């Protein structure tokens, strides 16, 4: 994997899939980074947690050239064991209990066995109505994890789930590999039970061990998408490989919805490893849909040049901003990136999407075709305008600046050297730590 620079331009991540000596933290093999400073051609390398970019969540750190004593290695192994779930996937027996014996502790976020009730007796949030229907929707029982840099769980709204599944059924897919999409996996199972649409098989790969309580090993594998690590090792890998095998014409597609704060290139490396596994068993390239904000388009296309970004706006139940029906700058920025043919993906016309015969793809209502650019240029759902001086279309709020020689926001830091923050122009911080980043850069 090529080197990848993080959003601040300070740390360089180097992902080498051949490195079998990487130290491990509770989230699996660590990633190798390189610390660089101003004017330094090469910095010192170090290992850090693959899943957590904030050391408050996982403080693992080791210089790459550092020699680790045996005592420290043993202490690390003990700490890793202490962070593991209380039960293995095979040990969860809750789903086999009679209905009247089923209990869910909201405080601990655990399904509890009869012999464990005394331990949870003082917990004020002990649910006694864990019915079959509630167990079918674990995403409504579990409190979503909310760290956007590691395991943020923004759950698809049912609208987006049903659109994705109807679209994939129309394209002939019967098996869905759900990578970090627990709500989609859940809706697939619900649709199968209702029997109103053709049955689909799904396998959920997710780092949240709590789903072990609800799904068997043939339905869920605990997985870290930042380092392609299966926590149950060979057994989980066997289920994964078997699911990818297209037998009796059952077409497979991978859908992933990573945390938006995660680094793109480690994710791309993991998905590439999946594609290699798929190719070893099937012909052609693995069909993939990567769900991510549109402003990561250049980074994703750098890793997967065959991908296209679609105009469909994905919305979430538990995100304060990414909701369906909003207009202007408040529209959801989350899009579909895929190696499927854009012209074959029909977007819902009742939501304003229409087919552009020139671009041969469906576009949003505000995305007008520009004859000068020969494309439908809008990324954010609004109608963009063509700037003759720049020779391209730009956001409607941007104006051409003759001093800078390009379009920008009217209040941009005109003429200043962009060595500091590319968002607000301050020389005191980088884009990564800009306090105005979420308010301005991706919405104006």
pLDDT over threshold 60, residue 346: yes
**Of the ranges 99-108, 233-242, 276-285, 427-436, which one carries the lowest mean pLDDT score?**
427-436
Question: What's the distance, Cα to Cα, between the start and end of the chain in Å?
Answer: 34
CA distances from 313 to 160, 179, 352, 356 (A): 8, 19, 11, 17
pLDDT over threshold 90, residue 393: yes
Mean pLDDT of the chain: 83
> What does the radius of gyration of the chain's CA atoms come to, in whole angstroms?
24
pLDDT of residue 104: 80
- Whether the CB-CB separation of 250 and 282 falls below 8 Å is answered with no
Alpha-carbon gap, residue 377 to 358, rounded angstroms: 12
pLDDT of residue 154: 79
- Whether the CB-CB separation of 274 and 254 falls below 8 Å is answered with yes
pLDDT of residue 434: 66
pLDDT over threshold 50, residue 443: no
Average pLDDT over residues 62-74: 90
CB-based burial label for 74 (10 Å; 0-12, 13-18, 19+): exposed
pLDDT over threshold 60, residue 2: no
**Buried/exposed 211-232: b ≥16 CB within 10 Å, e otherwise:** bbbbbebebbbbbbbbbbbbbb
Higher pLDDT, 86 or 309: 309
Task: Name, of 52-61, 245-254, 359-368, 404-413, the range with top average pLDDT.
Answer: 359-368
Average pLDDT over residues 415-425: 59
Average pLDDT over residues 413-418: 66
- 3-state helix/strand/coil string of the chain: CCCEECCCCCEEEECCCCCCCCCEECCEECEEEEECCCCCCCCCEEEECCCCCCCCCCCCEEECCCCCCHHHHHHHHHHHHHCCCCCCHHHCCHHHCCHHHCEEECCCCEEECHHHHHHHCCCCCEECCCCHHHHCCHHHHCCCCCCCCCCCCCCECHHHHHHHHHHHHHCCEEEEEEECCHHHHHHHHHHHHHCCCCCCEEEEEECCHHHHHCCCCCCEEEEECCCCEECCHHHHHHHHHHHHCCCCCCEEEEEECCCCCCCHHHHHHHHHHHHHHHHCCCCCCCCEEEEEEHHHHHHHHHHCCCCEEECCCCCECCCCCCCCCCCHHHCCCEEEEECCCHHHCCCCHHHCCEEECCCCEEECCCCCCECCCCECCCCCCCCCEEECCCCEEECCCCEEECCCCEEECCCCCCCCCCCCCCCCCCCCCCHHHCCCHHHHHCCC
- Look at phi and psi of residue 385 and say left if phi exceeds 0, alpha if psi is from -120 to 50, else beta: beta
pLDDT of residue 427: 57
The pLDDT-based confidence of 415 (bands split at 50, 70, 90) is low
Higher pLDDT, 142 or 181: 181
Average pLDDT over residues 200-222: 92
Higher pLDDT, 421 or 442: 421
- Look at phi and psi of residue 232 and say left if phi exceeds 0, alpha if psi is from -120 to 50, else beta: alpha
Alpha-carbon gap, residue 80 to 194, rounded angstroms: 42
Q: What is the pLDDT of residues 270-303, one digit of tens each?
A: 999 999 999 999 888 999 999 999 999 999 999 9
Residues 6+ positions from 185 with CB-CB distance below 8 Å? 176, 178, 202, 203, 204, 215, 219, 220
pLDDT of residue 9: 44
Beta partners for residue 47, in sequence order: 32, 62
pLDDT of residue 266: 92
Higher pLDDT, 92 or 405: 405
Higher pLDDT, 23 or 425: 23
CA angle 234, 143, 196 (to 5 degrees): 75
Average pLDDT over residues 335-361: 96
CB-based burial label for 23 (10 Å; 0-12, 13-18, 19+): middle
Higher pLDDT, 171 or 127: 171
pLDDT of residue 18: 47
pLDDT of residue 16: 47
**Of the ranges 28-32, 105-109, 171-175, 440-444, which one carries the lowest mean pLDDT score?**
440-444
Alpha-carbon gap, residue 214 to 205, rounded angstroms: 13
Q: What is the pLDDT of residues 221-279, one digit of tens each?
A: 999 999 999 998 788 999 999 999 988 878 999 999 999 888 898 999 999 999 999 99
**Of the ranges 30-39, 249-258, 333-342, 434-443, which one carries the lowest mean pLDDT score?**
434-443
Beta partners for residue 361, in sequence order: 356
């Amino acid at each position: 994997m090529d080197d990848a620079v993080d959003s601040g331009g300070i740390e360089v991540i180097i992902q080498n899939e051949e490195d079998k000596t990487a130290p491990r933290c509770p989230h699996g093999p660590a990633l190798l980074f390189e610390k660089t400073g101003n004017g330094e051609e090469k910095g010192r390398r170090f290992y850090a947690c693959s899943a957590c970019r904030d050391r408050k969540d996982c403080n693992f750190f080791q210089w790459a050239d550092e020699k680790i004593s045996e005592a420290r290695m043993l202490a690390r192994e003990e700490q890793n064991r202490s962070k593991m779930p209380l039960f293995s996937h095979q040990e969860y027996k809750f789903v086999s209990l009679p209905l009247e014996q089923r209990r869910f502790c909201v405080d601990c976020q655990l399904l509890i066995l009869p012999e464990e009730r005394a331990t949870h007796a003082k917990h004020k949030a002990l649910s006694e109505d864990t019915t079959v229907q509630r167990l079918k929707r674990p995403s409504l029982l579990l409190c979503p994890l909310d760290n956007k840099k590691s395991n943020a769980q923004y759950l698809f709204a049912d609208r987006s789930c049903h659109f994705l599944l109807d679209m994939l059924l129309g394209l002939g897919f019967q098996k869905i590999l759900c990578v970090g999409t627990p709500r989609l996996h859940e809706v697939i199972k619900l649709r199968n039970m209702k029997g109103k649409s053709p049955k689909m098989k799904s396998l959920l790969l997710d780092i949240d061990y709590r789903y072990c309580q609800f799904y068997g090993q043939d339905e869920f594998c605990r997985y870290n998408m930042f380092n392609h690590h299966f926590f149950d090792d060979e057994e989980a890998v066997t289920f994964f490989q078997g699911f990818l095998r297209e037998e009796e014409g059952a077409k497979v597609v991978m859908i992933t919805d990573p945390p938006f704060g995660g680094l793109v290139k480690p994710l791309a490396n993991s998905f590439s490893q999946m594609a290699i596994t798929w190719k070893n068993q099937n012909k052609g390239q693995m069909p993939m849909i990567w769900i991510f904000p549109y402003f990561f388009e250049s980074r994703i296309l750098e890793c997967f040049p065959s991908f296209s970004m679609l105009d469909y706006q994905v919305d979430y139940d538990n995100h304060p901003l990414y909701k369906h029906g909003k207009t202007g700058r408040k529209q959801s920025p989350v899009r579909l990136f895929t190696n499927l043919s854009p012209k074959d993906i029909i977007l819902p016309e009742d939501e304003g999407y229409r087919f552009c015969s020139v671009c041969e793809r469906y576009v949003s209502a505000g995305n007008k075709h520009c004859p000068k650019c020969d494309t439908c240029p809008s990324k954010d759902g609004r109608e963009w305008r063509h700037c003759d001086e720049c020779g391209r279309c730009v956001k409607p709020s941007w104006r051409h600046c003759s001093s800078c020689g390009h379009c920008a926001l009217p209040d941009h830091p005109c003429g200043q050297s962009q060595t500091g923050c590319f968002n607000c122009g301050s020389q005191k911080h980088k884009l990564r730590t800009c306090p105005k980043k979420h308010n301005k850069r991706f919405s104006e």
